[in-house]
Amino acid sequence: MLGGPYPEPVEATPMSTLSAFAAALAGGTIEVVDLTAPLSAETPVIALPPQFAQTARFELEELSRYDDRGPAWYWNNFRTGEHTGTHFDAPNHWVTGADGDDVASVPASRLMAPAAVLDCSAEAAADPDFLLEVDHVRAWEAEHGPLPEDGWLLYRTGWDGRSGSQEEFLNADDTGPHTPGISPECARWLAEKAPVVGLGVETVGTDAGTAHSFDPPFPCHAALMGSGKYGLTQLQNLALLPPTGAVLVTAPLPIVSGSGSPARVLALVERG
């Protein structure tokens, strides 16, 4: 046996939280679920009464495509409304939040947050004018625990299944659009009492299609924006998320003075 001192065993360096997170992503125990609707000229857009200004559909203008306008590159200009496709509503989007943050001023730390998913797809399938009430949220909390502090409430209605058609998505008749939403009482409760930072929906806006006739009109916009909270609309794939445990990553463009922006919205889900 050789003599002499032996080196002390080297202890493994504990894995940092970020290193463990990266390893979980690489290993597939954390899945990334894309909640974003593809953005194209076919993307449904809200239609306001004709006396009001209308938002623009998404448009691409080709600049060059490996040709004499640019032999080695392909690129485009694009034109769209801030509130087209999957998008983020900033507080200044509504008159009640006129003095609130524009989309560029929203703190980046608020763009990553836990999410609760409340599934009312069966109710919305039976009644396109279905409204979420406080009692529905309380029943969800009784089963799953409280809504996440500074998190998102994601309201699943199955409406993303209609997103391939402007007509089916807006579901309008002579009285106006018919899409599920939130009751005025529930909107006030989410804005003033609930611990969430915002509301996410699958429909064209956070309010119900018939919310123009509510008291007040468009209560989700009025209450949430007025309370400095946010909206996410035209989400997809909420059916792939658990009721609790997902983390939402929301990435709107930081448009200076903008009232909102199309956004890429991702959910991180532990599948271990």
93 is catalytic: yes
62 token code pair = 């080709």
The rounded distance, in Å, linking the Cα atoms of 73 and 64 is 7
189 φψ region: left (φ > 0), alpha (ψ -120 to 50), beta (else):
alpha
SS3 240: helix
Separation of alpha carbons 163 and 13, rounded Å: 49
Angle subtended at Cα 242 by Cα 230 and Cα 186, rounded to the nearest 5 degrees: 40
Q: What are the beta bridge partners of residue 91?
A: none
Among candidate residues 83, 87, 93, 136, the one labeled active-site is 93
Q: Is the CB of residue 78 less than 8 Å from the CB of residue 40?
A: no
Are 220 and 192 in contact, with CB atoms under 8 Å apart?
Answer: no
Residue type, 38: P
Backbone phi and psi for residue 43, each to the nearest 5 degrees, phi listed first: -60, 130
* Residue of 81, 212, 199 lying closest to 148 (CA atoms): 199
State the number of CA atoms in the 13 A half-sphere of 8 facing the CB: 3
Give CA–CA dist 184/212, Å, rounded: 11
How many helices (DSSP H) and strands (DSSP E) are in the chain?
7, 14
Active site residues: 93
